[in-house]
């Protein structure tokens, strides 16, 4: 069987590291036909759109993609292509393993953690109102009419959204992943002590889901305590599941524990499609110098092979990376 896979090289160092990953994946012998499409700055320059419809159509058609890093402006400019891609394709689960590799410089040893991050809601819904706009004024007035806590009229707003359905779905994914991969425990990470309605809802749904998986141990941790626990006794944890913002932060923390973003793969999984990518950025100052480390991109390719059911090939890639390092 030949697999059709959409390859999005990205920008900055993206074409270099994604090209390296492609060569390694081709060397496994798994038959893949690569369909190259653009997104990000390269697509903006050539097509006037950071996320062209033909790129989305390719991903919908092939159902699997491998994506290089892309530039996201800080504080201004176009919205994150990564966020747009996840929302357009319904990629609700962000899978970010963190595993120690012998030879990689890091403070910790023998780390083997998996962060499962909800991708589509929480603080990253993109529902924002800028300071001084008429829309912000309307929202602030509506809130102030209903809340004892008053918002100042010049505030900027970001809306956090947590739903029962999406909370349940991501926790179910974490438990199913744990069961399929021989993992023994799932920990829900939250801030339900402060955000009692949003994170409280997430925690209640996680507890309800956990009752259906008696073969997998379950506990929960407040997010700030979770960060401390990971520094003190990471061996007590296995699969961590959490809302979007916490997952973004803790996945980078776990990456730092195993040596940094340069060795941290990830996958974005939806009901109909999946896109795999390195967590790190596009590092434009290093582009074209043949000095970027492709390890994270290669390991993301291994995650992709596992998703395709090519477990043996994925293990060969992971073993080869470990041997080389």
Beta carbons within 8 Å of 309's beta carbon, 6+ residues apart = none
**% residues pLDDT > 90 (the chain):** 85
Residues with a catalytic annotation lie at 124, 191, 224, 248
Distance between CA atoms of residues 91 and 318, nearest Å: 24
**pLDDT value for 109:** 92
Terminal Cα distance for the chain, rounded: 32
Site of tokens 């962000």: 94
| Overall pTM surpassing 0.75 (yes/no) | yes
The stretches in the chain having pLDDT less than 70 are 72-79
Beta carbons within 8 Å of 315's beta carbon, 6+ residues apart = 302
Distance between CA atoms of residues 176 and 185, nearest Å: 11
Q: What distances in angstroms separate CA 305 from CA 30, 31, 137, 141, 295, one per listed residue?
A: 9, 11, 49, 51, 15
- Among candidate residues 161, 223, 215, 167, the one with its CA nearest the CA of residue 191: 223
**pLDDT value for 75:** 45
How do 185-190 and 157-158 pair as beta strands? unpaired
**pLDDT value for 171:** 98
Distance between CA atoms of residues 319 and 309, nearest Å: 17
Site of tokens 């996958």: 267
**pLDDT value for 79:** 58
What pLDDT, in 10s, does the model give residues 200-220? 999 999 999 999 999 999 999
What pLDDT, in 10s, does the model give residues 101-113? 999 999 999 999 9
């Amino acid at each position: 069987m030949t697999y059709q896979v959409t390859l999005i090289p990205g920008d900055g160092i993206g074409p270099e590291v994604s090209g390296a990953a492609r060569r390694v994946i081709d060397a496994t012998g798994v038959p893949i036909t690569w369909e190259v499409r653009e997104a990000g700055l390269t697509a903006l320059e050539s097509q006037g759109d950071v996320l062209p419809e033909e790129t989305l159509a390719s991903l919908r058609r092939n159902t699997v993609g491998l994506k290089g890093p892309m530039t996201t402006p800080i504080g201004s400019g176009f919205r994150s292509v990564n966020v747009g891609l996840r929302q357009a394709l319904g990629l609700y689960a962000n899978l970010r393993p963190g595993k120690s590799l012998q030879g990689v410089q890091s403070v910790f040893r023998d780390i083997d953690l998996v962060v499962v991050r909800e991708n589509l809601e929480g603080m990253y819904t993109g529902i924002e109102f800028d300071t001084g706009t008429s829309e912000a004024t309307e929202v602030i007035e509506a809130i102030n009419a209903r809340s004892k806590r008053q918002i100042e009229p010049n505030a900027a707003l970001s809306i956090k959204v947590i739903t029962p359905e999406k909370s349940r779905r991501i926790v179910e994914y974490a438990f199913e992943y744990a069961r399929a991969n021989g993992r023994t425990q799932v920990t829900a990470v939250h801030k339900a002590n402060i955000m009692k309605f949003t994170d409280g809802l997430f925690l209640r749904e996680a507890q309800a889901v956990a009752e259906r998986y008696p073969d997998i141990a379950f506990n929960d941790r407040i997010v700030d305590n979770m960060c401390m626990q990971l520094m003190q006794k990471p061996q007590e944890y296995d699969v961590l599941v959490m809302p979007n913002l916490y997952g973004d932060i803790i996945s980078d923390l776990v990456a730092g524990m195993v040596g940094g973003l340069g060795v941290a793969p990830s996958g974005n999984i939806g009901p109909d499609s999946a896109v795999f990518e390195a967590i790190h950025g596009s590092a434009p100052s290093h582009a074209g110098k043949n000095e970027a480390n492709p390890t994270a991109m290669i390991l993301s390719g291994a995650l992709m092979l596992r998703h395709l059911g090519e477990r043996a090939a994925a293990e060969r890639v992971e073993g080869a990376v470990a041997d080389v390092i």
